[in-house]
Structure formats: C-alpha cells, structure tokens
Structure 1
Amino acid sequence: MEFDFTPVITYFPTLLKGVGVASLIAIVVAFMSIVGGLIVAVISIYTNKVVSWPLRFFIWLFMTTPLLLQLYFLYFGLGEWILIPAIVVGILGLGFHYMAYNADIFIATIKSVSGGQYEASRSLGFGHWNTILYIIVPQALIRSIPQLGNNMILMVKDTSVLSAIGVAELVYASQYAISVSFRPFEFFIVIAMMYYVINILMELGQAWLERQTAYRR
C-alpha cells in the first residue's frame, strides 16, 4: 500500500476550517459547562430537596445516557417541533452533557472544603451566600482544575461526534475530501495528528494552570 498525501495538502485549508469550527464550539461549550456545572452544583447542595432533586436527576440522566443519543434526541426529536441549527444543537448537547459531569466534580470539591471555614466565615459576619461565593466556591474551583482539565480534553475530542448531525467540524470537513480523493487512511492519519497536537497543547495549559494555583489548595 502506497501513501499519497497530495489530496491532504490540497484540502488542508478545509481541514483548518474544521479545526476552527471545532475550537469555537469547544470554547463555548467549556464556558457553558463549567459555569453551568458550578451553578447546578451550588444549587443542588445549598437548596432544599424540591429544587435539588430535579438537578440531581439532570446530572444522573446526562451521565448515564450516550452523548450521541442525546444529540439525536435534541436534533431529530425536538426538531419535529422547532427548527434548531445543527451547530446550536451540538453546542447544547455537548454543553449539557459536560455540564452534568462538571457539576458532579464541583459537588465533590465543594464538599471537600472544610466545614470549619464556613463556620469561621459566618462568625466574622459573612452572610450565607457571600460565604459560599467568596470562600467556598473559589477553593472548590481551584481543587477541581485537574478533573475539569481532563473533562475539557475529552470534550474537545467529542466534538468529532457532532459530525453525525452535520456540524462542519474537523471530521465532517474531511468527509467530502475523502469521498472525492478516495484516500481515507491519509486523511485519518492527519486528523489524528491534529487532535494529538490539540490535546498536547491543552495538557500543557492545564499543567501550567495547576502550577499557578498549587499554593492556593
């Protein structure tokens, strides 16, 4: 078998556009899943069961069902009642999926913060929610960096699943080129290398962030 990377060079700008789309989706999903996961965790811990139980059910539901099934449900199921662009469905699907996982991480890290700090803060005159927002949550955020970083690396790789609903990310962008050139192996090698480089950069960024915040744990 002979390798021919000429088609890959020809369609490389198309692959770069796919990387750009995947990166944009990943940034939006990262923000949505981290902020949303933190809100879900705080509400589920510090509110009554009437509010917290539905949120815990949300976490359980998205953690126990496949991501692809969730995307199909949003795109094809809800699509019967409302027309939603594929990229919006992709962002919402990935966002809710990783929001559930991040919420589970935040619940664990919030509970790991010593209860004595809450009591000391209240004794100094801080209110209930000020203590949570300014004392508990910042520590929980720092402690959750390793797990969150791993989740975000997995999320970037999961953007490839969005090709199943027609989102023009990296894998989807390569499909047309493969259908024209009939050189799938070469394209898959290059795509794998692209994901590898992205993962390495994210791991380096995570390691740097962990070093910067290590003294605060």
Structure 2
Amino acid sequence: MQFDFTPVITYFPTLLSGIGVMLMIAVTVAFFSIVGGLVIAVITLYTNKVVSWPLRFFIWLFMTTPLLLQLYFLYFGLGDLILIPAIVVGILGLGFHYMAYNADIFTATISSVSDGQYEASRSLGFGHWRTIFYIIVPQAFIRSVPQLGNNMILMVKDTSVLSAIGVAELVYASQYAISVTFRPFEFFIAIAVIYYLLNIAMELGQAWFERRTAYRR
C-alpha cells in the first residue's frame, strides 16, 4: 500500500476547523469540570447528608457508566424533551463526566489537609466558610494539580467521542475528508500526530505549573 498525504494537505483547513472546535470544547469543559468538581467536593464534605448524598450519588453514577452512554442518554433523552445543539450536549456530557472525577480528586485532597490548620485558622478569628475557602481549598487545589492535569489530558482525547453525536471536532472533520478522498489511513495518521503533539504540549504545561506550585504544597 502506498501512502499519499496530498489529500491531508488539501483538507488541512478542514482539520484546523476541527482542532478549533476541539480546543474550544476542551477549554470550556476544563473550566466547568474543575470549578464544578471543587464545589461538589466542598458541599459533600461540609454539609449535611440530605445535601451531600445526592451529590455522592452523582459522582458514583458518572464514574461507573461509560462516557458514550452518558452522551447518548443526554443527546437522545433530552432531545425528546427540548431542542439542544449537539455541541452543548457534548460540553455538558464531558463536563459532568469529568466533574465527577475532579470532585473525587478534590474530596481526597481537601481531606488530606491537616485538621490543625482549620483549628489554627478558627482560633485567629476566621469563620467556618472563610477558613475553608481561604485556607483549606487553596492548599487542596495545589495538591490536586498532578491528578487534575492528567484528567484534562484524558479529557482532550475524549473529545473525539463527541463525533458519535455529530459534533464537528477533529475526528468528525477528518471523517468528512475521508468520505471525499477515500484516504482513511493518511488522515488517521495525521490526527494521531495532532493528538500526540497536543498531548506533549499539555504535559509540558502541566510539568511547568507543577514546578511553579511545588513550594506551596
């Protein structure tokens, strides 16, 4: 079999549009899942069981079911009730999925902060919630950076699953190009290289951020 990457060059603008959509989704999901995961972790740890147990069930549900099944449920289930664009479903599906994992990470790192810091803060006149948000949470966030970074790298690769519901990210864009050119292997190789380069860039960024925050742990 002889490879010909000329079609990849010809349709590279199509791939670029897919990369743009993928990165937009990834940034939105990263913010949504990290902030949401932190809020869920704080609520589950510092509120009563009436509030915390439904959130614990949410974490369990999204961590024990496949991402694709969750996307199908949101896309086809909500689609019967309201008209919702596929890209919004994709952001919500990925966001909830990784929010559950991030909440689990934050729960562990918040619990790892010593009780003595909470008691010392209260003795200095800080209130309960001020102690949590100004003393406990910042330390927990720094400790969670390695795990969060790994999750976000996985999340960027999981954006490819959104092609199953018609979101025009990188894999979906390549499928269109393949349907026109009939050169699947060349495009599969090209998008694999793109994901590889993005993965390296994110790993380097994570390593840099970890070095900058290491002294605060």
- Cα distance in 1 between the residues matched to 2:91 and 2:112: 31
Establish whether residue 178 from structure 1 lines up as the match of residue 181 from structure 2.
no
Q: How many residues align?
A: 217
Quote the residue 1:100 is aligned against: 100
Counterpart of 1:125 in structure 2 is: 125
Which residue does 1:2 correspond to in 2?
Answer: 2
1:81 aligns with 2:70: no
User: Per-residue displacement from partner, 1:62-101 (whole Å, max 9, x unpaired)?
Assistant: 0000000000000001100101000000000000000000
2:159 maps to 159
The TM-score normalised by the length of structure 1 is: 1.00
What RMSD over aligned residues (CA atoms) do the two structures have, in Å?
0.3
Deviations 1:146-182 (A, max 9, x none): 0000000000000000000000000000111101111
What's 1:53 paired with?
Answer: 53
2:145 alignment partner in structure 1:
145
Aligned residue in 2 for 1:169? 169
1:41 lines up with 2:41 in the alignment = yes
Return the alpha-carbon distance in structure 2 between the equivalents of residues 98 and 176 of structure 1.
28
Partner of 1:70: 70
Task: Compute the displacement of 1:45 (Å).
Answer: 0.2
Name the CA distance, whole Å, in 2 between partners of 1:183 and 1:143: 46
Aligned counterparts of 1:33 and 1:152: Cα–Cα separation in 2: 9
Residue of structure 2 in register with 1:13 after alignment: 13
Superposition deviation, residue 124 in structure 1: 0.5
1:93-122 CA distances to partner (integer Å, 9 max, x unpaired)?
Answer: 000000000000000000000010000000
- How many Å separate the matches in 2 of 1:7 and 1:45? 54
- CA positional deviation for 1:12: 0.3
1:164 partner SS: helix
Q: Helix, strand or coil for the counterpart of 1:126?
A: coil
One-letter amino acid of the counterpart of residue 14, structure 1 = T
Which residue is equivalent to 1:189? Answer: 189
Match of 2:214, SS state, is: helix
Which segments of 5 or more consecutive residues in structure 2 lack a partner in the other structure? none
Q: Secondary structure in 2 aligned to 1:82?
A: coil
Moved over 2 A (4+): none
State the partner residue of 2:136.
136
The amino acid that maps onto 1:112 is S
